[in-house]
Amino acid sequence: MKDYIFEHGIIGESDIYSLIEKYYHDGCYVYAIHTDSFYCSTKPNIKSNHLLELRIFTENDELKLYRSNIGTDFSWRYIDDNDFENTLSGETDEFLKVFKNRVFDEEHYLDIDTTKSQGTHYTTTGGGEYTLPLENAEKVKIRNYLEYDKNGIVFISDFRIVGFMQKGNMSNG
């Protein structure tokens, strides 16, 4: 198992609500992809029978559930960056011990037509629509988890959502 993943498993559709309850708390964002919709909010309003992927996240941690087909079980993993940093203190390699050598953060601009978007309702430049749980969102921040092969060549082994950025600053999460 990857050293940044602290819990993981496989869970049936009927059991996902107990897992959500374990990791969801005030201050979390909820991002869900259903077969018929996209959902992003601060509340876990999830339709499990149509759910393909769910991420519950803050700036420091993320629970991810996912499945490839409706009717199959969910795989899940939980990352906590504070625990990951503490784990790295036991690393024997001085380079790999440094958190910033194990993650790479990116900021991606959201597709927003500012002339048509209002409040938490956003319109893309192509005319699509979506909502986010905050106004004036500009970017999404992604954290990539880095691994190194035996030759020292880096690769991204996983990623998570860290939060949304409003114009000029980082929002909670």
Q: Is residue 72 part of a domain?
A: yes
Q: How many domains does the chain have?
A: 2
23-81 pLDDT, tens digit each? 999 999 999 999 888 899 999 888 888 899 999 999 999 999 999 888 889 999 999 99
| 123/66 same-domain check | no
Which H or E run includes 83? helix 81-88
pLDDT at 171: 53
Which residue, 33, 52, 81, sits at the end of a domain?
A: 81
Q: Is residue 89 part of a domain?
A: no
Q: DSSP letter at 90?
A: T
**Contact call for residues 21 and 124 (beta carbons, < 8 A):** no
The overall longest dimension of the chain from CA atoms, in Å, is 53
| 75/113 same-domain check | no
Tell me how many degrees the CA angle 145-148-150 measures, rounded to the nearest 5.
160
| 75/100 same-domain check | no
**Contact call for residues 165 and 60 (beta carbons, < 8 A):** no
112-160 pLDDT, tens digit each? 998 999 999 999 999 988 999 999 999 999 999 999 999 999 999 999 9
**Contact call for residues 59 and 142 (beta carbons, < 8 A):** no
| 105/53 same-domain check | no
| 118/50 same-domain check | no
pLDDT at 36: 85
Range of the domain at 43: 5-81
